[in-house]
Amino acid sequence: MTEHKKRVHWLLYPFWLIWRAVIWIIEATGRLIGAILGLVLLIVGGILTLTVIGAIIGIPLIIFAVMLIVRSLF
């Protein structure tokens, strides 16, 4: 039997990589610690977003943290 590997379109590849990183963190740390880590990253991202320069790093950090929390809960 032949297996068909799912190929990710090149435009969606960065999002796929971020999602795979989230899954890897959850597998490595567990669900509860992953949710706590997501909450901490969410707070740090919010604090960084308050500064104009830090918003460049803060907004993606918030998005990453929300993905981490969602993956931990479901």
Q: What does the pLDDT average to over 68-74?
A: 89
pLDDT at 28: 84
pLDDT at 3: 63
Model confidence over 34-53: pLDDT tens digits? Answer: 899 999 999 999 999 998 88
Determine, yes or no, domain membership for 33: yes
Domain hosting residue 41, numbered range: 26-73
Residue given tokens 């490595």 in the structure block:
28
Q: What is the mean pLDDT of the chain?
A: 88
Determine, yes or no, domain membership for 61: yes
State how many domains the chain has.
1
Determine, yes or no, domain membership for 3: no
Model confidence over 2-28: pLDDT tens digits? Answer: 566 778 888 889 888 988 988 888 888
Which among 48, 49, 42, 32 has a CA at the least distance from the CA of 63?
42
pLDDT at 4: 66
